Amino acid sequence: MEVKARAPGKIILSGEHAVVHGSAAVAASIDLYTHATLKFPTSPVEHDDVLKLQLKDMALEFSWPISRIKLAFSNLGVPFSSKPTTCSSESLKLVAGLVEEQSIPEAKIALATGVSAFLWLYTCIQGFRPATVTITSELPLGSGLGSSASFSVAISAALLAFSDSIKTDLRHPGWLEFEELQLDLVNKWAFEGERIIHGKPSGIDNTISTYGNMIKFKTGNLTRIKSSMPLKMLITNTKVGRNTKALVAGVSERNIRHPDAMSFVFNAVDSISKELANVLQSPALDELSITEREEKLGELMEMNQGLLQCMGVSHASIETVLRTTLKYKLASKLTGAGGGGCVLTLLPTLLSGTIIDKVISELEACGFQCLTVKIGGTGVEFSNGSS
């Protein structure tokens, strides 16, 4: 028996950092996915009584005897997949003990929280069943594209597709969408995984990965946006690591030093996010109106980037991307925390492939990684393993 699930990554179109200070922000899914494959043994052969997690991109495999997991979670009881359960501090210690036994290489120790999230989600939803779970991802890790949320959503979806809580018809080929109530359950379980990985996540990343398309969020309120506008973007990964907490703290400190000026900055970002959401939702009747909307989006992205520079979260590598794309009159902005990470560049519908190739060539010559993506597609999906 086998089931697959895939969950998209995300970008922030507008409002990063300012959202912490009460401004609106807009996020969207991208067509880069984390894939999770769940396979149960079909016959009782030797060594089947084991739970395996294979991280193909990392060339890592972890395994736990089911008896060892039962010993650790002897008080967990029967799996109750319809009721998302928070991992208590006591349970988290037990999970961490199981992960520590795997001797994760020092260079990849950051993966430990993800492995912990997997163990908790698996045991809560499937109980003490032997299986092999394989993970692959098209998302670069730690670059602000929602890789951890995509991981949590894909795992939750695959596990729930083989549970009593979600009835799925795996006879049909190809990728299939969950029903709305099923998505709600996937999202709640994925959020529990994110809590193990991040401590206090906003819930934005797992929500956009679960439902897809776009969302607007402000002071804890999430509003799903339906956009019929086809959007294509170039994501440039500068490969420069950044400290998100330090960058967020830096913006807060600047706000304390210059409260009046920063108030205007945050208010401007709020207006940009609201206008951007309106543009995305407005109907496009012909090619001309699509071009006009793309021009508006480009201007809003450039204004947002200028305000992010005011907040002090840009970086030399980001500025290199901006200069390169500006030569071709393309609008760009950082996405996520800044200080490195990734940069978005809007690729208008009428832009020639030759220009896109030139831009990518110049950016790759700087040592950057370039990914061309479609924005605002479907959320998490599942298949019978043949896709």
Active site residues: 205
Strands 50-55 and 131-137: parallel
Torsion of CA 251, 257, 262, 263, to 10 degrees: 120
First-to-final CA distance of the chain: 14
Q: Which two tokens stand for residue 147?
A: 């890789």
Q: At what angle do helices 112-126 and 147-161 cross, to 10 degrees?
A: 20
Rounded to an integer, what distance in angstroms lies between the CA atom of residue 255 and that of residue 249? 10
Minimal CA–CA distance to 313: which of 291, 330, 333? Answer: 333
Pairing relation of β-strands 369-375 and 131-137? unpaired
Beta-sheet pairing, 176-177 with 342-346: unpaired
Q: What tokens were used for 255?
A: 């706000």
